[in-house]
A and B are shown apart, each in its own frame.
Chain A
Amino acid sequence: MKAVHATQTSLSKNASEDGRGPGRSAASPNMLIALRSEIFRRCLYPLLLKRWRPTAQVYLSKLRKYEFAEVESIETVQWTKLQALIRHAAQNVPYYRNLFREHGIQPEDIRSRQDFARLPILSKATLQEACNELLADDRHTKSGRPNASGGSTGKPVQFFQDAAYWDQAHAWQSFVESWWDIRPGDRTASLWGADRDIPEQSWRERLYGEIGQLRVCNAFALNAAQMERFAKMLVGWQPQHVIGYASALEVFAKFLAERGEFRIRPVAVKTTADILSEERRRIIEKAFGCPVYNFYGSREINNLAVECPARLGLHVNTLSRHIEIVDDENKAVPPGVPGRIVITDLTNYFMPFLRYEIEDIGSWTGTPCSCGRPFPLLAKIWGRSSDFIVTPEGKLIHSVFFTHLFYDMPDVALFQVNQNDVHNVEVQLALRPGTSEYPESLLRKRLRQAFGPNISFKVQVVPKIDRPPSGKHRFTVSSVRPSWGRTDQSIEQWTGVEAL
């Protein structure tokens, strides 16, 4: 006798095609690619790593040691490293030598984090001016590599990082990627490229790409033809890891969803550089059918914070970065209150930055993560201070909020909100080619609701909105500086179209 079998019913092949929630199982490419990449991962990658990042493996095992340590123990390590860096800066770096002499401080005087927090903040402007004075005297003992920050704020800033910095950066990246089940040397597809990066790829990167573990698509030339070419290639190649700018990945994800024929199933997607709004996250997760993790770093100082699978916030890289969030008086803000992010890089001895203001806004969650890792959590990175529109009542409206206003207006191709002073805002719209209409009264109603009664705004249709040289489009540009650290300050939350 045979029983009725409830669960033996085979699932249809398209069961997971809806692409909702992430699954751990990546799609596999054909045998040859799988074999080649397995050989690369197991044989070639360790050799290349040994050659190019000789100490990365050592740093990685140190990181693993602290993966589930107590909070106090990683803070002790951090403090020891910080003290060593302060001593080095006071001894070998002309800028800090002078600074310490001017203020009459000895490195031994800095006995606690409170003492350290009284040091002046290093701004981007100072970095530009004092670039040469920030280089350590003993730099001839290290091999520094020049790097330049994105020109999104104006002219690019040049700075240097040494081999130890890069080794540790690599170790941290492998470390966090293992949280997401990405192995070192996995096939990686990347939507990348500030314009100047692409031609300047080093021969190592080009070789690495040639051997077959990295495929790059220029994020700033994302037209349909190029995306199609890239998507077609990825379908056969099935990368395990997809990385890229959040905005570029969103464009690519929308393209994939629209076409529907390209099935790319990586294990994890890493987004950087742009703000990852919940909307964006959903779109990308849906298109790739895997979890999306936010990675916070900048060119000057990479690897600041990163999400774990619990995604309750971004884990700070406590072991090699010291992150403070301060208000306008340079005092630390309590958890939950947004403030300016100030960073000290504990690994760069070539050109040390003490208390560098990265010009991003963030806040602490103040709670431990469910994953059990001791690294403290940043709640959210809000991007630049000038991304916020400030209303006379002290309300802050972030650019992500405005993107919601335009979600159901497909004819608006691009917009930009410019604030010149507290009472005047200008909204520029670029319409999709071939259209000349948009729901004007609806938009005005929504904007009035968002801005409140005390702001007068103009809506203007322009033929084209220029992208800045870095390629990152800025939805809001405000010249009004909000004051940070006020606990009563609120960031406007999106509550859905109905609310408007």
Chain B
Amino acid sequence: MSPAKARASWLNRAYIGLVNPALNGKTYLGIGRRVRELQQLERMSPAQNRSRQWQALSRLLQHAYDSTPFYHERFERAGVRPAVMERLEDLQKIPVLTREDIRQNLDGMWSRRFARESLRQAATGGTTDTPVPLLRSPECLTEKLAVQFHFNSWAGMWPGDRVFMLWGAQQDLVPDPSWRWRFYERYLMRHVTAPTSVLNPEILESYRRLLNDFQPKVIYAYPTPLTIFCEYLRDCGRTYHYPRSAICTAEPLLPQQRQTIEQTLRCAVFEHYGSRDFGMVAAECEAHQGMHLNPSAVFVEFVPVEGAEVDGLHEILVTDLLNYGMPLIRYRINDCAMPASAPCACGRGFPLIKKIAGRTTDNFYLANGNVVPGVALTNRVIQVCPGLKKVQVIQNTLSDFHIRYVPGPGFSASDLGLLGSKLRVFFPDPLQWTFEEVPEIERERSGKTRFCISHVKRNETTPVPEETRA
């Protein structure tokens, strides 16, 4: 293994400038320049970055006020004039934007400066919630990609580097890839994907072989499946390839998980925080003292959470400074964070947050030894049941599952049947399901939203011998 290399090589530059635009289209044009601009921004002082951010925010507000009926009306009602806005208090007069608002005002939110058909619909997720269709201008896709590339570069990952993705979100994967797609993905885009909806020793072993064959530079993964994979690698007693860095995203990375991954893969672990609505929002740098927000991409407000278990926990409200197609202003993303008090040792001029208490999911351990990471369900199960607003899956014993749900407007009993059949894809064994209708699924006092809760401990899951079962 050669040392970590965070600087872009000639191959990386070729990918940024030539291969990506040629293969993936116009969106990838001009990303290199934009990344270089971001590298300049990170060298500026926090004060300079703040003032630039405020300018960008005022521009966005003015744009929203001028060109979207929804925000025009909303600002009018709140008595906010973007042109004369000077302080944070002025901004706080604007009501918080919720998912419900977007769902109800879809047509009023897109900017009339764009042609409706030029806006792209984003594949939005919604881990604990039903998804909402978001629109984006084509320009902002490029910028969001640049932000992501820039964050990745802190972990030494540039376009063109070999990446092994341990991916939980099924909708990102091509269900039944053709050989052409596989060739494109593996040899041109240079990444391989390992789905993590069900994990058992055979599947993990095949991933180990894939890891050794592919020799990736970076592992890009959901933390829980990656931890399961690392535990397997550690205990299986066979050799495996060590990447140069591991990037964890989509779920909060627990300290225990970080330690396991570091010690098994012998590399630094970087946590990234993003959402489907905004793209990448924050990422860890090489000092590992928290995650840096990118002030040119998002404006984040911190609202103190009362009665939280930990001091300094804040709910975050995000304003997307890049998407002019459908502005999202003071959007409640339903995650909590702790802003850092001290600046990061790396010296970057980007603000730092200590940790994210977002959605957490447990793993489900089944009687046959399979493990189903809760994250695998999040994007898969909820989106197909339009009548359900929120779902929480609780495993009480090996075979006893309890589901709490919040019914949506078009709810009917068939939705539950549909949900059950979707769940049976993951849990083929006869299991006992109970359903309970609840008015709301509350956030925990630690600030976390728990979508999957398992009360089954791992050691209880040793497969039952055939004789005793009979």
**Nearest CB on A from B91, distance (A):** 16
> Which residue of B is nearest A181, CB measured?
B6
B460 at the interface (CB under 8 A from A): no
Of residues 334 through 357 on chain B, the ones whose CB sits less than 8 Å from some CB of chain A are 345-349
Chain B positions 1 through 12: 1 when the CB is less than 8 Å from some CB of chain A, otherwise 0: 101111100000
B92 at the interface (CB under 8 A from A): no
Chain A residue contacts of B191, Cβ below 8 A = none
**Nearest CB on A from B293, distance (A):** 15
Chain B residue contacts of A184, Cβ below 8 A = 3
**Chain A interface: which of B205-213, B263-271, B272-280?**
B263-271
Tell which of A7, A8, A175, A181 has the most Cβ of chain B within 10 Å. A7
Chain A residue contacts of B114, Cβ below 8 A = 1, 3
Chain B positions 396 through 419: 1 when the CB is less than 8 Å from some CB of chain A, otherwise 0: 000000000000000000000000
B19 at the interface (CB under 8 A from A): no
**Neighbour of B1 across the interface among A18, A64, A267, CB < 8 A:** A64
Whether B3 lies near A183 (C-beta < 8 A) is: yes
> Which residue of A is nearest B36, CB measured?
A25
**Nearest CB on B from A10, distance (A):** 7
**Chain A interface: which of B39-47, B173-181, B220-228, B310-318?**
B39-47
Contact A7 to B322, CB < 8 A, known contacts A23-B39, A312-B345: yes
Whether A372 lies near B1 (C-beta < 8 A) is: no
Chain A residue contacts of B3, Cβ below 8 A = 174-175, 177-178, 183-184
> Which residue of B is nearest A24, CB measured?
B6
**Neighbour of B268 across the interface among A20, A291, A371, CB < 8 A:** A371
Whether A24 lies near B153 (C-beta < 8 A) is: yes
Rounded to whole angstroms, the CA-CA distance of A441 and B63 in the bound complex is 61
Whether B324 lies near A3 (C-beta < 8 A) is: yes
A26 at the interface (CB under 8 A from B): yes
Chain B residue contacts of A22, Cβ below 8 A = 43, 346-348
**Nearest CB on A from B35, distance (A):** 9
**Neighbour of B42 across the interface among A8, A21, A179, A309, CB < 8 A:** A21
Whether B324 lies near A10 (C-beta < 8 A) is: no
Contact A23 to B43, CB < 8 A, known contacts A6-B56, A6-B60, A291-B346: yes
**Nearest CB on B from A38, distance (A):** 9
Whether A3 lies near B347 (C-beta < 8 A) is: no
Contact A289 to B288, CB < 8 A, known contacts A5-B139, A267-B7: no
Rounded to whole angstroms, the CA-CA distance of A120 and B131 in the bound complex is 71
Whether B347 lies near A21 (C-beta < 8 A) is: yes
Rounded to whole angstroms, the CA-CA distance of A174 and B39 in the bound complex is 26
**Neighbour of A6 across the interface among B4, B113, B153, B322, CB < 8 A:** B322
- Counted as pairs of residues, one from A and one from B, with CB atoms less than 8 Å apart, the total is 140
**Neighbour of A4 across the interface among B43, B59, B267, B287, CB < 8 A:** B59
Whether B113 lies near A2 (C-beta < 8 A) is: yes
Contact A3 to B262, CB < 8 A, known contacts A24-B7, A371-B288: no
Whether B347 lies near A11 (C-beta < 8 A) is: no
B289 at the interface (CB under 8 A from A): yes
Whether B56 lies near A181 (C-beta < 8 A) is: no
**Neighbour of B324 across the interface among A6, A175, A312, CB < 8 A:** A6
Rounded to whole angstroms, the CA-CA distance of A422 and B345 in the bound complex is 39
Chain B positions 50 through 86: 1 when the CB is less than 8 Å from some CB of chain A, otherwise 0: 0000001001101100000000000000000000000
A68 at the interface (CB under 8 A from B): yes
B115 at the interface (CB under 8 A from A): yes
Interface residues of A (CB under 8 A from B): 1-8, 10-11, 15-16, 18, 20-26, 61, 64-65, 67-70, 174-175, 177-179, 181, 183-184, 267, 285, 289, 291, 309-312, 370-372
Taking A70-B263, A181-B5 as known contacts, 18 extra A-B pairs with beta carbons closer than 8 A to each other, sorted by chain A number, are A1-B115, A2-B113, A6-B59, A7-B322, A8-B139, A11-B41, A15-B40, A18-B45, A18-B48, A21-B44, A64-B266, A67-B267, A68-B268, A69-B266, A285-B347, A309-B288, A310-B289, A372-B288
